[in-house]
Structures are given as C-alpha cells and as structure tokens.
Copies of this chain bind each other. A is one copy, B any other.
Amino acid sequence: MITATLLVTCTDRTGIVANLTNFVSEYHGNILDLDQHSDEEANRFFMRLVWSMDKFSLSREEVPAALKILAKKFDDFRFDLSFSDQRQRVAILCSQTPHCLYDLLLRQQMGELEGDIVLVCANHPDLREVTEHFGLPFVHIPAARDRRAAAEAKQKRLLQKYRIDLVVLARYMQILSPAFCAARPHRIINIHHSFLPAFVGAKPYHQAKARGVKIIGATAHYVTADLDQGPIIEQDVARVSHRDTVDDMVRKGRDLERQVLSRAVRAHLQRRVLVEGNRTIVFH
C-alpha cells in the first residue's frame, strides 16, 4: 500500500482540519493517521496527515496543485507532501568513531528506516571496511584545515551525484561552512554529545565532569550556520556518578549518541518532523 504523508502548518482558524480531511475523503483516500495540534499561545496550526493512495482518484502529480488552491483559504500555509515509495536518499558523513555508523547501517539492514542510506563519506579512511561490510560505497575526502574548501566542493559534487536528500553527521567532528549548511535547511542532522543547551562546544564530557552533573545527555538537531544552535529533534540522558571517569562518560555517551541520532533520523525519514522557527514539532 502506498501512502501519502502531508505535513501542514498555518495560522490557526476554524475549519482547517475539516477542509483537509474532506479533501482527502472526497477523492476516496482513507486516512490512516492524523495528529493535529494547535498552539494557542502562538496561534499556529500543525498537522500530520497520512492517507492510503490505493483508491485515491487524484494522481500524485495533481495533489500539490490541489493543495495550493486549498492553501489560499488559509494564512501563511506551508505544506510538505511525500509518498511512501519516494524513499529519501541519505549520506552519512563521519570521521573515525564507528558506533553511530554501525547503528544506522544495522537499522537500515533490519528495515527500521523508511529511507535509504546510499553513501558514506569520511575525512579519515578508517571506516571503509565497516561501510563495505554493509555493502555501501565509501568515499574518503581528507579535510585538513588548509584544504577544507576543496573538500567541501568535493562533498557537494558527491551529494549531487548520489542525489542525496538528507545528510547525517555521525560524529563527523568537522565544522561545515555556513554556505553548505544554508543550502540544506533542515536537511542536515547532527548528533551533539551533550544535553543541549548545556555544554555547548568542545569536550562536553570534560565539561560535565568538571561541573559535577549527575546526568549526561546527547542531542540530535538540524544543523544551521549557528553551531549547536539548530532546532532540536531528539534528546536523551543517562545517570552518572562520581565513580564515572571522563572515559566512562564517553562510553555511556556513545550509547546515548547512537540511539538519539538514529531516533532522529528515523523520525525525519518518516516525515514526522516539522520545523517552526528554531523548534521542531515531532509527531508520534
């Protein structure tokens, strides 16, 4: 069964849900999942709507045009439409640590992701074997300081060649240029190894140890030009005690990082994430 998923946000008013569900049912679409939320403080409407295309009488090319007409009834209406057989193509950027890479590739193999990781690209050669074990192409692009711009140009060509929809930074450890980030709004997901906004920047586990916190965390967020400040998609935490050295925190952190990153990527690929300003709405 092919399904359509529609993410919508607009200024809140009467009749939006009725209009949209009516639209689906008039053309014989069966609604499978609807999650709607009105933010009364901000007067904004948010919705995720999934319907079956089985008996739907509009072709998938006709749907956007119809939605655009419908949109005129509402203010500041934005939508994102996708079909379940249009799987997003994902590239992973990584460096040397394998835990997030293994986690994503294993989930792909187990069929947990509704998208396709098609490329792994790294600034070190170490993870070639892991990537090839999972049957994927690995490209090594060194990114030393003095050739960062050239490296990024290569990456761009590669992403284009592989028609990449989503870039996942699986502990990439390199800062991307503002232009690179700006060209892919809400299309780059990073894992930060702290519970943001605590411990922004480098060596967060050392910072956590020094501050004596009792809980550490990890944060998956969309990358913007503003380091560690992009919209948060998912977070999780683990308890630590005085017995945990920085190395123990790093170890516990690895477990958090891979889980949090994979959950964020999965939510994105399931089209469950809607960005509004610097925040996300993540539908269940």
Contact = CB atoms under 8 A, between A and B. Distances in A.
A75 interface: no
Interface in A46-99: 46, 55, 98-99
B242 A279 contact: yes
A11 interface: no
Contacts of A30: 12-15
A196 interface: yes
Interface in A261-276: none
A280 B211 contact: no
A237 interface: yes
A24 interface: yes
Nearest to A231: B212
Interface of A: 12-19, 21-22, 24-26, 28-41, 46, 55, 98-99, 102, 106, 109-110, 112, 129, 133, 195-199, 211-215, 217, 231-237, 241-243, 245-246, 251, 254-255, 259, 278-282, 284
| 7 cross-chain pairs, A with B, having the tightest CB-CB distances, nearest first | A212-B279, A18-B25, A198-B198, A14-B30, A34-B36, A18-B21, A242-B281
